[in-house]
Amino acid sequence: MRTFLQPYTFKKGITLKNRVMLAPMTNFSSADNGETTPEEREYYRVRSQGAGAVITACANVTRGGKGFPGEIGAERDELIESLGELADTIKGEGAKAILQIFHGGRMAPPHLLPDETPVSASAVAALRDGSVTPRELSLEEIDEIIKAFGDATRRAVKAGYDGVEIHGANTYLIQQFFSPHSNRREDKWGGSLEKRMRFPLAVVNEVLEAAAEAEQDFLVGYRISPEEMEEPGITMEDTLQLVEVLADQELDYLHVSVQDFHAGSMRDNTDKRSRVQLIQDTVGEKIPVVGVGSLHTPDEVEQAMENGVPLIALGRELIVEPQWVEKAENGREDEIRTELSVDDREKLTVPEPLWNAIVNTPGWFPVKEHAAK
């Protein structure tokens, strides 16, 4: 049997039916008030039939942290029922349900925020077209956001999830505190590498405390982006020190966010080593590492796991082929689709807002114009 089809048991005793996770991908399909929608839940239901675990799109922990239109909300108790409907949908198909929790920080679009002002570690704009300069968070606000991550975790527990994933990647608030580009603070939350680690670690501690209140075993993962292009920015050396510290917490896994599992450094063209494999080699004996990134076929997934990475998340692949795992299990690998046509939305059970993003973002997905007649 292929490695990725074998069950996996975490230290806490929670067992996945296989080692494939649905990667957290924004789908823009929740209601404006943060409630999950029937169309969104059906999208997850179909993909929960094969995957061992489903990590949801990110859910904001405060109103001021909303990063996308149509985002899942986890910032108030009224959303527990809606969150529970999604958890039940995922678990009803045999997958573990993991809610990704996050704060958009300076990447949050102003029009989605109550006061139309993004916040961050410091008043430094992202180096992207159209970026606005965020407001620097006060000490009191930092404490409130840390607490909000804990409160969102408690809601996930009440809603019946099997775990949460702390989104410390993809340039959002937790990464903004770790980055020397976005964090220019001179108080206890910024400056040295150790001080820039404090916010991520405070969030981890708060979430772990909330998770410990659960009556059942409850997973806590952490997603990380290894490097940044900016100067100053996060280097691989910074990240390897951070993952060493994270590996000593009571976390259940570390999820590495990269576009390509095998890609080398984005800062140093001469460094061709896989960022995922570097992290696996550094802390893999202490904490399970989840690899991801441009792994399309079962052979590619199997090859990525050859050097010890125990879990693989698939995002685009499970959108293009919702039955990826089932076809791999049943010897139908040659039937796994690797591209989609603009006519395939209903066949693939993709919500319309996500579908519009797919077909209107050149290069993101392998899209052909129309299906063959």
Tell me the three-class secondary structure of 343-358, residue by residue.
CCHHHHCCCHHHHHHH
Question: pLDDT value at position 368?
Answer: 86
Residue type, 129: D
Task: Give the tokens for residue 228.
Answer: 């940044």
Residue 100 β-bridge partners: 58, 165
Check residue 249 and report its DSSP letter: T
Identify whether 370 is part of a domain. no
Question: pLDDT value at position 373?
Answer: 52
Longest pairwise C-alpha distance within the chain? 64
- H/E element holding 68? none
Identify whether 367 is part of a domain. no
Identify whether 346 is part of a domain. no
Rounding to the nearest 10 degrees, give the CA dihedral for residues 206, 191, 132, 176: -40
d(CA 36, CA 79): 9
Q: At what angle do helices 198-212 and 236-247 cross, to 10 degrees?
A: 30
Identify whether 188 is part of a domain. yes
Task: Give the tokens for residue 240.
Answer: 């390897």
Question: pLDDT value at position 371?
Answer: 59
> Residue with structure tokens 């052909």?
368
Q: Would you mind telling me the total number of residues written for the chain in this entry?
A: 373
Q: How many domains does the chain have?
A: 1
Identify whether 157 is part of a domain. yes
Give per-10-residue mean pLDDT for the chain (373 aa). Answer: 97 97 97 98 98 98 98 98 98 98 98 97 95 97 98 98 98 98 98 98 98 97 98 97 98 98 97 98 98 97 98 97 97 94 94 95 87 56
Tell me the three-class secondary structure of 142-181, residue by residue.
HHHHHHHHHHHHHHHHHHCCCEEEEEECCCCHHHHHHCCC
CATH of the domain at 127: 3.20.20.70
Task: Give the tokens for residue 314.
Answer: 């698939």
Identify whether 347 is part of a domain. no
Catalytic residue among 8, 43, 44, 172: 172
d(CA 225, CA 228): 8
Question: pLDDT value at position 315?
Answer: 97
Question: pLDDT value at position 49?
Answer: 98
Look up the pTM and report it: 0.98
Structural domain boundaries enclosing 214: 3-338
- Identify whether 8 is a catalytic site residue: no
Q: Which residues, other chains included, contact 76 with Cβ-Cβ below 8 Å and sequence gap of 6+?
A: 34
- H/E element holding 196? helix 193-196
- Residue 105: Cβ-neighbour burial (10 angstroms; 0-12, 13-18, 19+): buried
Burial 263-293 (b: 16+ CB within 10 A, else e): bbbbbeeeeeebbbbbbbbbbbeebbbbbbb
Question: pLDDT value at position 26?
Answer: 96
Identify whether 265 is part of a domain. yes
Identify whether 41 is part of a domain. yes
